Amino acid sequence: MLTVGQFAMWGILAVGFFNSIMLPSIFALGVRGLGPLTGRGLGLLVAGIVGGAIIPELQGILADYIGIHHAFFLAAIRYLYILYFAIACSRTRDSTAPEISPVGQHGLVV
């Protein structure tokens, strides 16, 4: 956001790489301990992906008004919320919650 050239290019590529790792973790942590409500929780998480289609459009509109570098502050706000979610999940370990398994109830990788 604050640089140009090769460093900025590799930085944005790294963001894409870490996003690909982050999504399965969010799904696993988001449904941990839901029990019989796991299906509904997964449905809400999938519906939340719509934000991934709306936010880039808003960022593009914002970039038209304030410039592409400054428009990335919108993405930074989203990543701060994801950081908050990760910290909150790491602090709320419940001994009654099942362990996170990479394989879901129906053999699907989550």
Q: Give the start-to-end residue ranges of the domains of the chain.
A: 37-93
Report the chain's mean pLDDT, rounded to a whole number.
77
User: What is the arithmetic mean of pLDDT over 71-92?
Assistant: 81
Cβ neighbours, 10 Å, residue 72: 19
**DSSP-based three-state secondary structure for 69:** helix
Which backbone phi and psi does 4 adopt, to 5 degrees? -135, 170
**Above 70 in pLDDT, residue 96?**
no
Lowest model confidence (mean pLDDT) among 5-9, 55-59, 104-108? 104-108
Distance CA 73, CA 84 (A): 17
Per residue in 29-68, pLDDT (tens digit) is: 778 888 888 888 888 888 877 767 888 889 999 999 998 8
